[in-house]
Amino acid sequence: MTLDLRVGPAERSATEATYVALAATATDKAFRPYAPVRPRARRTPAGIEISFLRRGLLDADPWEPIEIPLGEDIESYALEIARPSGPARKLSSSSPTIVYPATDIVADFGVQPAALDLTIRQISASVGPGFPLVAHVPVQ
């Protein structure tokens, strides 16, 4: 949808020459979920547990240490792990914690990696993948 706008000083008439006409096209960018933050990776017997904090668009800026509202119809995340060769390993989760299975780690790296290169996105049911968190995360 294209909007025709006139921009200028509030105290003047919109028909004066001090106003500028411009066209703006609305996109879904404002509705995409924000990138998650604070990625962590730690070894467990089952594999590497990858966790992060989600961010939200609605009521998500309290100063108290509380869980923010989801702001989406469902909670869904897509995670990509860069591998030494071949395409990225893709995992998905309905929570901000994902286990990278030990069998997949051996198949992808051969040994336990010291760090992982991750791309994590929250998925919106209405607009699709949100902005990515791209991070190099040490495995603890």
CATH number at residue 87: 2.60.40.10
Inside any domain, residue 60 = yes
In what helix (H) or strand (E) does residue 89 lie, and over which residues does it extend?
strand 89-93
Total domains present in the chain: 1
d(Cα 119, Cα 114) in Å, to the nearest integer?
17
Inside any domain, residue 2 = no
Q: What is the pLDDT of residues 71-122, one digit of tens each?
A: 777 899 999 999 998 999 999 999 999 999 999 999 999 999 999 999 999 9
Inside any domain, residue 24 = no
Range of the domain at 102: 30-138
* C-alpha 31: how far from chain center: 12
Q: What is the pLDDT of residues 45-55, one digit of tens each?
A: 999 999 999 88
With a cut of 70, say whether residue 58 has pLDDT above it.
no
Inside any domain, residue 78 = yes
Q: For the whole model, what pTM was predicted?
A: 0.79
d(Cα 58, Cα 65) in Å, to the nearest integer?
16
Inside any domain, residue 80 = yes
